[in-house]
Amino acid sequence: MVTSSVSEVEIGRALGRRVAPRSVQRAARELLDHCEIVDLTPEIRNRAIEVRPASVRSLDAIHVATALVAGLNRFASFDVRQRIAAEEMGLKLVAGG
């Protein structure tokens, strides 16, 4: 699996807001440890500007752009806005995501 370095921040903050138990925090860290973490590069930032639809939120656009720049053709997310953008940008959606 590949994910943006932005995911580390998003997951950490979400778990903090929900005061997640240590076991959940460890499980999230283990999941991220099994991912290829892609740093936010100028190429990804520029590609994120081009992500459609124009209404997609910035962080969602960064996730889609990360997949595109990484050369992936499939995309998994539970976020409806990310899924719409990914599909519009030509990525095939993975079932269950």
Q: What is the mean pLDDT of the chain?
A: 94
Indicate the domain borders of the chain.
2-93
Confidence of residue 39 (pLDDT cuts 50, 70, 90): very high
Instruction: Read off the pLDDT of residues 49-93 as tens digits, 9 standing for 90 and up.
Output: 999 999 999 999 999 999 999 999 999 999 999 999 999 999 999
pLDDT, residue 97, reads 56
So what's the pLDDT on residue 88? Answer: 97
β-strand pairing of 74-75 with 92-93: parallel
Compute the distance between CA of residue 56 and CA of residue 75 in angstroms, rounded to an integer.
16
Query: Is the pLDDT confidence value at 24 over 90?
Result: yes
pLDDT of residue 9: 95
pLDDT at site 64:
98
Q: Where are the alpha helices (DSSP H) in 35-76?
A: 42-50, 58-69
| Residue 48 burial (10 A CB sphere; 0-12, 13-18, 19+) | buried
